[in-house]
Amino acid sequence: MKLYNLLLFAAFLMSTVWASQVACIIDNVIVSVIDSEDGVCEFDIPDDLPTDFKFYQESDYKIYYYFIQGDNSLHMNDYFSGGKTINVPASDLYGINVPLYQGYMEKESDEYLEVPARSGEKLTDEERQYILGQNIGSQNALLDHSVSVFDYQEGTESALLPPPKQLPSAVACVINGQTVSVVDYESGICDFPIPVEFRNLFEFYSERNYDIYYYYIHTANQEYRNDYFNEAPTISVPAKEVYEAKDAIHMGHIQYNYGPIPAGRQAKKGDELTPDERKFILDIGPQYRSAQAYFVSAVEFIVPDEKPATYTNSSSSSSSSSSQSTDINTIDSSVDSELKTLNSSSITTSFGTITTTPELPVLQTESPNNIATDNQNQSDYPPLASSESAIPIPVACIINNEKVSIVDYETGVCEFELPSRLNAMFRYTSIDNYEAQFYYTNTSKNKYFTDIIHAQKTIRIPASELVDGNYSLNQVYDKKVCYSNTTISTNNNSSRNNVYTLVNSLKKLTGTKLDDISFSASIIASSSIAPETVTAIGEMTETEYDYTVVTLTSCSSDSICSMTTFSAVMVEVTTTIGTIESVYTTYSPIYTDSNTATSYDAAPTTTNLDSSTSSKGGAETLNRSLLVFILIPLAYLM
């Protein structure tokens, strides 16, 4: 018996000696020290991050959640109760440093709701199962927070801390794959333009007659609106708020029409409102909310720092232009000091000012060899390309076997204008007196409609949902007439909510399938893109160019500068945002990549190349030529 007790005591001593302790670390700060075998790290979600859970109904909710991906499992907070802690077994994080992710689930109903939001504890079992069945992880944001677990030794805390995450000096503000500005990461503001096809209106006659459209972006932390009182054409968001995120531009509509407007009365604009009228508008919730097919983000702005191979004209009769040397402005590749004075329209350098344009592509060098076509566990819209995956994959948008546009696979939206022979209408007097005709199509994931209320004939569908599919157009016509001679009470039977209730009911109708109109999209092989037009990704062969020798000076943060000389062709860049088309003339450096079979443009733009211009010294075939756009005004280079 004594021997048995002695063995137990020895085993206890050995386990005490061998038991190791580990430190639970968040953002380089040790928050607890626990046992490595059975200890659990409790990571608090930072106070500045929202944990809202708002549930109105299955078609209208907003939910934030947070998770940490360990070695073996995914660990989440209790988002139903707005939990502020994530519990992770130490063994699942041992020796690794992983980021904290924020998730966001949202659905918005077109119907104006007056019922209050419910928290997770007040949901029925069916509603709870509905939320649990949603695609967790479909809208995730990588946060500037990280957690880790490392061996703990007293007095050596600093040695345990993982290196801090490197953040960019400058970021490109991007909307649907198009760069609209380059700003400083820390202090920069992204001014995202409201697409011109969206109505931007503020009309206020009285508290019973007004019509207002506004637009907003809901980031992980808060909501940012345009200054709709003054019909502002942009939404201003701090660059840090949308860094490596994918947030949609939403439209809100506030409207109330009580009887006819007196003759001669003019609508007030926002700056003409009294304080009480302004407060009245601010206190109104949106009657109509719609998620538009436009997404914004901020990605790391990359400056080229590798020397390209030079295309050389071997002909003995070289043109005089080939001997020219144009010194392009020095660009600090660290962008630190230069971007402190950067605004959305220019970059100031030691040689002058480079005017930025609505299309300033982020340069990339990787080649997309494989394209995933499995749509399972994907979000409704593909994630916006970040700096690590911004290589555009060209997709042709097709209606009735006719290509109408080329967009990026990940971020592009196919815009289809319906044939003129199809009519759209929306005539509304009351919920019992209306006539409507509109169109929709069903993809494998979602149903997409034309704008019913405004009788539009355009359908916008994310390109990724159309690839390898073929979807028919459906027409819906519905009419209702009230034959009663009773005067309709505007206040009761035609309330401000009825038109949107009607639209919701119309969307549930099946209508008639139009077999002669179908939508699809296909990924374009680079060899099939003509040399005259390069959209997003292109390959050029057997094309003659009049080129110029260009010198690019690049300087690092420690003031070490190097010069790169390469041949460049002059090209026209045509950029269209909404209905506004801009044309730029720029130099496009030429080099050959021997490791890839195809060359890629840096961003999904349409570039018209003057392929009829021949080199004065003879022509050579450009095989696998990579166009790296440097958007600099031609007048500055002359």
State the greatest distance between any 2 C-alpha atoms of the chain, in Å, as a whole number. Answer: 107
Q: What is d(CA 629, CA 607) in angstroms, rounded to the nearest whole number?
A: 10
pTM confidence score: 0.37
Q: What is d(CA 21, CA 152) in angstroms, rounded to the nearest whole number?
A: 6
Burial of 1 (0-12, 13-18, 19+ CB in 10 A): exposed
pLDDT at 41: 93
Q: For the chain (length 638 residues), average pLDDT per consecutive 10?
A: 53 50 86 88 87 83 87 88 90 86 78 67 86 66 78 59 69 88 90 86 88 86 88 92 86 79 80 89 71 81 50 33 32 34 33 32 29 32 36 82 86 88 87 90 88 87 89 93 52 51 87 92 63 34 47 58 60 57 56 35 33 34 36 39
The model's pLDDT over 540-567, given as tens digits with 9 standing for 90+, comes to 333 344 456 666 665 655 556 666 665 5
Burial of 236 (0-12, 13-18, 19+ CB in 10 A): middle
User: Which residues, 6 or more positions from 471, have their beta carbon under 8 angstroms from its beta carbon?
Assistant: 441, 442, 443, 518, 519, 520
pLDDT at 473: 95
The model's pLDDT over 93-150, given as tens digits with 9 standing for 90+, comes to 888 888 888 888 887 765 555 567 788 888 888 888 888 877 654 456 667 788 888 8
pLDDT at 113: 54
Whether residue 604 contacts residue 405, with contact meaning beta carbons closer than 8 Å, is answered with no
pLDDT at 223: 85
